[in-house]
Chain A
Amino acid sequence: GIQVEQSPPDLILQEGANSTLRCNFSDSVNNLQWFHQNPWGQLINLFYIPSGTKQNGRLSATTVATERYSLLYISSSQTTDSGVYFCAVVASGTYKYIFGTGTRLKVLA
C-alpha cells in the first residue's frame, strides 16, 4: 500500500519564526489534506490540496502530485500553532485516507 512520510518528526520554534513541513507519498493520489491536531485531539482541516497551491492567512500549502510531495508553510508562528500536523492521502483507485507519521510542532513564547 501507499506509504506516507512526514518530516521533520519534531520541530521546536521560537514565536515569530517560519517553518516548512514536508509530506512525501509513494504512489499517485486522488486526495490530500493537511490537518492540525490540537492538544484536545481534534483534527482541524487546514487544506484540501490534491494539487496546486493554496493560502490561508499565515499558512500556505503546495502539492506537486507528479513528484509525490506536499509542503505546508507556516509563517510568523504563534504558540497556538503548537500541536501535531498530519498529511493524509487517498491513493488512486482507493477510498480511504492514509495518514502520515505526523510532525509534532512546539512554538515557544
Chain B
Amino acid sequence: ETGVTQSPTHLIKTRGQQVTLRCSSQSGHNTVSWYQQALGQGPQFIFQYYREEENGRGNFPPRFSGLQFPNYSSELNVNALELDDSALYLCASSPGGGNYGYTFGSGTRLTVV
C-alpha cells in the first residue's frame, strides 16, 4: 500500500508567477486536504476535497484553487505568487471524509523570490 506522494519536492518561483502542486492520495482514500506551513509555525488548512467536490475552505484568497480527479489525486494551484506564499505545502488524505484520521505526504517546499 503506497502512502501519500507529492510532487515536486522543491520548487523556486518568481513573484507573480503561477504554480501547480500535485498529490496522489493513499489507495482507497477519497478525501484530500491541503495545508500551508510557514517556517516555525503549524500547518494551516487551505481546503479539502471529498469525491471531487470542494467541501471546505480555510482563510486563503481565491488565487489558491484546487482540483480533485476521479482517481482522487489532487492539485493545488496558486496564481500571482507573493513572497509570503513561500512555505511547505502539505497534502493529506483520508478514507472516509476525514473521520478516520489523515495521512500526510512529505510536502512541497515552495520558495518565491
Q: List the interface of chain A (C-beta within 8 A of B).
A: 30-31, 33, 35, 40-45, 48, 86, 88, 90, 94-102
Contacts and interface: CB of A to CB of B under 8 A. Distances in A.
B64 to A, nearest CB: 14
The CB with the most chain A CB atoms within 10 A, among B37, B43, B58, B105, is that of B43
A45 B103 CA distance: 7
Contacts, number: 59
A76 to B, nearest CB: 26
Contacts of B109: 41
Interface stretch (B12-20, B77-85, B94-102): B94-102
A101 B48 CA distance: 22
A96 B45 CA distance: 7
Interface in B43-57: 43-45, 48, 55-56
Interface residues of B, number: 26
Interface of B: 33, 35, 37, 42-45, 48, 55-56, 58, 88, 90, 92, 97-107, 109
Contacts of B55: 95
A23 to B, nearest CB: 12
A20 to B, nearest CB: 20
A41 B107 contact: yes
B90 A31 contact: no
Nearest to A96: B45
B104 A42 contact: yes
B56 A97 contact: no
A43 B90 contact: yes
A101 B40 CA distance: 10
B48 A95 contact: yes
